[in-house]
Structure 1
Amino acid sequence: MLINPSLSIFMITLISGTLISLSSSSWLGMWMGLELNLMSFIPIINKNKTPYETESAMKYFLVQAMASVLFLIGILMNEMTDFLMSSNTSYLISSALLMKMGAAPLHFWFPGVMEGIDWMNCFMLMTWQKVAPFVLISYKLMNNMIMIVIFISTFVGAVGGLNQNSIRKIMAYSSISHLGWMLSAMMISNNLWLIYFCIYSLLNMSMIYLFFNQSMFYLSQTYLMKTNPLIKFSMMISMLSLAGLPPFLGFLPKWMMVIQSLMMERSFIMVLFMVMTTLMTLYFYMRVMFSSFLFMNQEIKWKTTKLSSELISLSMMLSIMGIPITTWLLLY
């Protein structure tokens, strides 16, 4: 398979833009890294030049450009006023970064952009494109503002996905819900956020690999999916893990890190609200699974296919890996 040279260059500059933002010692350098990342991701989104991809690329560009302008204004105000308006500029910079990562209530663009792009770009948008804004927002962490964003993000992520028929939009609202959990992990410790983000990226990768191989984009396609039951079983396990159901791997960062740490800080209302909204997200995860499992009458045996069954089994093992880890934590 031939690799598009221009696509490779854009991928290199995309990664370089994020690394420039992370390694820069000045806010202006961070802004330049974010802009390089933005200008590299737009051609990657629009690689097939379909009308849907063009629309998503335009939406992404307009929103990110707006956020970049706010970010730059915040930087310039911070430099000009020094200590006089430091809190106001921190709110402005944080708002711009929250818009860039798609946190509620600045999430309006995220599901629409996800709907028009392919699964590999969806994975990049949900994981890699959030790295730089997350790290930069940790430098200006405004606890009172972030707590409001956590409440709204977990609520919007739960309610927004309930009435969706598009799997990409369901994954988008799932990402918004997880974003609330990651912000709460960042309030506790940057290390907790990093562990949560790595586990979330792994689970997302295993889930999107299955959707990509099956070319699944809508719930109606899961009713007609006639494939190896191993794929369906792997999809179910990965979905339950992504929902944070014990004892799978996705439960560990929520329980071991975020819930325990917030309970030690006596943030009982926040924990209760986040857990209740996560139970709501479990409903639309189960909609995806049950629609494919209800029609299994024509699959009579478990068989291996040419479709890299090793990788499918690996995606299932990623989620099951949480069972021995949970057992070990409970025993010791």
Structure 2
Amino acid sequence: MSNFFNSTKLFFLFILFFSSLISISSNSWLGCWIGLEINLLSFIPLISNSNNLLSSEASLKYFLTQSIASINFLFSILLNIFFMKYFEINFFTSIMINSSMLMKMGSVPFHFWFPNIIEGLSWFNNFILMTWQKITPMILLSYYMNNNFLFFIIIMNIIVGAIGGLNQTSLRKLLAFSSINNLGWMLFSITISENLWMFYFFMYSFLISSMCFLFFIFNMFFINQLFMNNMNSMIKINLLINFLSLGGLPPFIGFFPKWIIINFMINNNFYFLTFIFIMMSLIMLFFYIRIIYSSFMFNYMKMKWFKIFIKNNYFNLINYLSFFSISGIILSTFFFY
């Protein structure tokens, strides 16, 4: 982390945040496109690290996919300008713009780059890619939505996110598929209202940040590292709380935004969609529990000498994050009654 806080990287990080604000606050499609391009060119120096072959490969893949999405976006903007009066073209451009935004945030069916790239990044860059990099495309998508197309994409996201994570041993890929699944929930929430999307997004970012922070401190990248490490039981409980909250289990805070979305779906007779959402959440919980089970139950006798000591201030921070996760039921009763 120490080499992260140098002036160059902080400069690029500032440009990354600033470019998203340019896109969101722009009053023309071209301004949105320029913001997206600046965003892409500021994220690449953050992820490309000459020491690591995987990260330089990831930065190239990221550049290529985002460039294709940007070209697609620019093409559809131009089509929209020239053929504004034709309904067929309008319908076509709405699908084109939606597709390019979906590609930018790693949604199904353009998701194949996402787990691949995440595998080559550090935990901090993973956190940025799974949270901040989704804000701009999501908001631009909400300006020009094609609802029928989007509902199909939402169902695909939910299913692929749940099924794809079943066979993974890498924690980064697992969080990537979890992110694809949560993207389905987020896309549905943005079709309901922007406020609900902001709430869901804030909750998801909080949970992902605590997971990435935990894994960064313990330098973990694969499931087997969780039971090879002879961890403090309190750390294991924190891991349990955060994972279950991310999966959306009722007493935890992660369930709260999902609860609001399910409530809306039932009130508006989206019964089939509700069924898919809940079933796929169960699959997500299954592979989260598999990880927690392995870290709780297995202990390598050989590794008894290998102890993890973490600084007190880190440990307190993890405890606070977990306390917030578990206080979900209390907070949600305040909001509802």
TM norm structure 2? 0.93
| 1:190 alignment partner in structure 2 | 194
| 1:50 alignment partner in structure 2 | 52
Q: 1:296 deviation in Å?
A: 5.5
Instruction: Provide Cα deviations, 1:17-36, integer angstroms capped at 9, x if missing partner.
Output: 10100110000000000000
Q: Please tell me whether the aligned partners of residues 247 and 322 of structure 1 are also in contact (alpha carbons under 8 angstroms).
A: yes
Root-mean-square deviation over aligned CA pairs: 1.7
Equivalent of 2:24, from 19, 22, 25? 22
| 1:9 alignment partner in structure 2 | 11
Cα distance in 1, alignment partners of residues 102 and 279 from structure 2? 23
Q: 1:175 deviation in Å?
A: 0.2
| 2:325 alignment partner in structure 1 | 319
| 2:315 alignment partner in structure 1 | 309
Q: Are residue 291 (structure 1) and residue 332 (structure 2) matched?
A: no
Equivalent of 1:217, from 216, 221, 228? 221
Q: Please tell me whether the aligned partners of residues 160 and 181 of structure 2 are also in contact (alpha carbons under 8 angstroms).
A: yes
Cα distance in 2, alignment partners of residues 164 and 122 from structure 1? 17
Cα distance in 1, alignment partners of residues 170 and 277 from structure 2? 24
AA matched with 2:144: K
Q: 1:305 deviation in Å?
A: 4.8
Q: Are residue 132 (structure 1) and residue 136 (structure 2) matched?
A: yes
Cα distance in 1, alignment partners of residues 292 and 211 from structure 2? 12
AA matched with 1:306: K
Cα distance in 2, alignment partners of residues 329 and 33 from structure 1? 36
Aligned residue-pair number:
327
Cα distance in 1, alignment partners of residues 99 and 335 from structure 2? 38
Instruction: Provide Cα deviations, 1:133-164, integer angstroms capped at 9, x if missing partner.
Output: 00000001111011000110000000000000
| 1:263 alignment partner in structure 2 | 266
| 1:64 alignment partner in structure 2 | 66
Q: Please tell me whether the aligned partners of residues 203 and 318 of structure 1 are also in contact (alpha carbons under 8 angstroms).
A: no
Cα distance in 2, alignment partners of residues 188 and 214 from structure 1? 39
| 1:82 alignment partner in structure 2 | 84
Moved more, 217-226 or 26-35: 217-226
Q: 1:197 deviation in Å?
A: 0.3
AA matched with 1:6: T
Equivalent of 2:163, from 155, 159, 169? 159
| 1:118 alignment partner in structure 2 | 122
Cα distance in 2, alignment partners of residues 100 and 92 from structure 1? 12
Q: 1:230 deviation in Å?
A: 1.3
Equivalent of 1:96, from 76, 97, 100? 100
Q: Secondary structure at the match of 2:163?
A: helix
Q: 1:329 deviation in Å?
A: 5.7
Cα pair distance change 1:289/1:102, threshold 3 Å: same
Segments of structure 2 that go 5 or more residues without pairing to the other structure are none
Q: 1:49 deviation in Å?
A: 3.9
Equivalent of 1:281, from 252, 269, 284? 284
AA matched with 2:311: K
Q: Secondary structure at the match of 2:167?
A: coil
Segments of structure 1 that go 5 or more residues without pairing to the other structure are none
Q: Please tell me whether the aligned partners of residues 228 and 305 of structure 1 are also in contact (alpha carbons under 8 angstroms).
A: no
Q: 1:228 deviation in Å?
A: 1.8
Q: 1:328 deviation in Å?
A: 4.2
Q: Please tell me whether the aligned partners of residues 249 and 322 of structure 1 are also in contact (alpha carbons under 8 angstroms).
A: yes
Instruction: Provide Cα deviations, 1:252-296, integer angstroms capped at 9, x if missing partner.
Output: 0001x2101111110100010111011101111112211110135
Cα distance in 2, alignment partners of residues 204 and 4 from structure 1? 24
TM norm structure 1? 0.95
Q: Please tell me whether the aligned partners of residues 247 and 326 of structure 1 are also in contact (alpha carbons under 8 angstroms).
A: no
AA matched with 1:263: I
Q: 1:12 deviation in Å?
A: 1.2
Cα distance in 1, alignment partners of residues 284 and 71 from structure 2? 34
Equivalent of 1:142, from 140, 146, 159? 146
AA matched with 1:316: S
Q: Secondary structure at the match of 1:105?
A: coil
Cα distance in 2, alignment partners of residues 306 and 108 from structure 1? 38
Q: 1:315 deviation in Å?
A: 1.7
Q: 1:297 deviation in Å?
A: 8.7
Q: 1:105 deviation in Å?
A: 1.1
Q: Please tell me whether the aligned partners of residues 227 and 300 of structure 2 are also in contact (alpha carbons under 8 angstroms).
A: no
AA matched with 1:150: I
